[in-house]
A and B are shown apart, each in its own frame.
Chain A
Amino acid sequence: MGAPTNLPPEQRRTLGLGELLFGGKPVLGGQAPLRMRPRAKGTLLYLLPVPLLIAALVGLGAGRLEVALIAGGLFGLFMLGADLTRRGLKAEVADQTLRFARLRPAPLKTLGGLLIGLATGLMASWVVVLGLGLSLAYAGVAMLGFHFVYGFESWGRQRVVASDDERTRKIVAALAEAERQLLDLEQAAARIANRELKQRLARIGVQGRAILDQIAERPTDLFRARKFLNVYLDGVKQVADGYARTHRLADSRELEQNFRNVLITVEQAFEEQHQRLLKTDLMDLDVQIEVLKKQLEREGVR
């Protein structure tokens, strides 16, 4: 996962929900696809407890129900821990690729590691019938091994921007909220069957990210883009979500056409917004060049 973080900010992009969920690698805006695979997948955690499953089946075959239940239950606990770890590893990669928002709601890897430790301790105590001390030692060894291979998550949320400035924090919060809305928009798009409407929503997502990037490059643009952030983005997200929920229930051509018209308008509005921000930046640069020129002329420097 070294590549994305080595890129300069202007070459980085946000991650689509489709990529987050399915690990796809669409190429947007001519940018090279990012490497989305986590460095480890947790396969070992699925494989190591397999003898426990066999033990459960053998116990069942031998008519020893309590053995089958305990071994099967512990195997389930191991699988739950492995699954949480796998999801935590994926979320970790996805989270690092986002630019403003943070998605990780719970320390999944840590929960997975704790479950693996608990299951190991219980297995040592209940199935292999070791003493309390030895069982705890085995649980500790398993958790240490887990930490060496997968690592526990650090407590507390990582900050997106290393600044205590109130204004900067407000801007980052606004950008993070907008990024979340874009993710919601893509989630709604994934539930819509019509390919053309999906593509329109995808284009709106790309345009939206370009505007967010523009604001990040030049935070004073936040004021100029407030209508985009507060009205258009929220509006299109709500409409897309509503359409995604209802279009399967009521197959209405009129509804589809209305939705299409809204998307076309939003696409135009987003494009205009982006161009307006770029134009303002150019005008500001022109003014700065002119001021510098005048100053140099006044001081007799040519």
Chain B
Amino acid sequence: MTQLDHRAPKPPVRPPFGVRLLGVVLLAFSIGLLSCQALWSI
């Protein structure tokens, strides 16, 4: 029996910088904007 190919699975592919930046913008647009709106609406 040969040696086990017991290598750990590859880490998840890191999305390109542009995609991550878009993600940050979307999060800021939804959570950030809404929570600011919540603050002003009081």
Contacts and interface: CB of A to CB of B under 8 A. Distances in A.
B8 A5 contact: yes
Contact of A99 (B8, B15, B29): B8
A123 B31 CA distance: 9
A118 to B, nearest CB: 12
Nearest to A14: B8
Given A51-B39, A172-B6, A96 B11 contact: yes
B34 A128 contact: yes
Interface in A103-127: 116, 120, 123-124, 127
A128 B37 contact: yes
Interface in A29-58: 39, 44-45, 48-52, 54-55, 58
Given A5-B10, A50-B35, A124-B34, A145 B1 contact: no
A290 B15 CA distance: 53
Contacts of A55: 35, 38-39, 42
Residue of A64, A93, A124 with most chain B CB atoms under a 10 A cut-off: A124
A9 B7 contact: yes
Interface size class of A (residues with CB under 8 A): 35 or more
Interface in A155-181: 158-163, 167-168, 171-172, 175
Contacts of A9: 3, 5-7
Contacts of B14: 39
Given A100-B6, A142-B30, A58 B23 contact: no
A120 B39 contact: no
A4 B4 CA distance: 17
A67 B40 CA distance: 12
Interface residues of B, number: 35
A285 interface: no
A168 B2 CA distance: 10
Contact of B23 (A5, A145, A159): A145
Interface string B1-27: 111111111111011000110111111
A59 B42 contact: yes
Given A5-B7, A217-B3, A78 B27 contact: no
B32 to A, nearest CB: 5
B12 A151 contact: yes
Nearest to A149: B23
Contacts of A133: none
Contact of B9 (A123, A139, A158, A167): A158
Contacts of B6: 9, 99-100, 160-161, 172, 175, 216
A144 interface: yes
Contact of B30 (A141, A148, A217): A141
Given A58-B39, A138-B34, 17 more contacts: A44-B24, A44-B27, A48-B28, A48-B31, A49-B35, A51-B36, A51-B38, A97-B8, A98-B8, A120-B30, A141-B26, A141-B30, A149-B15, A149-B27, A162-B5, A217-B4, A218-B3
6 closest A-B pairs by CB: A148-B23, A145-B26, A149-B23, A145-B27, A142-B30, A51-B35
10 contacts: A12-B8, A49-B31, A58-B39, A71-B38, A123-B38, A128-B34, A146-B23, A161-B4, A161-B5, A219-B2
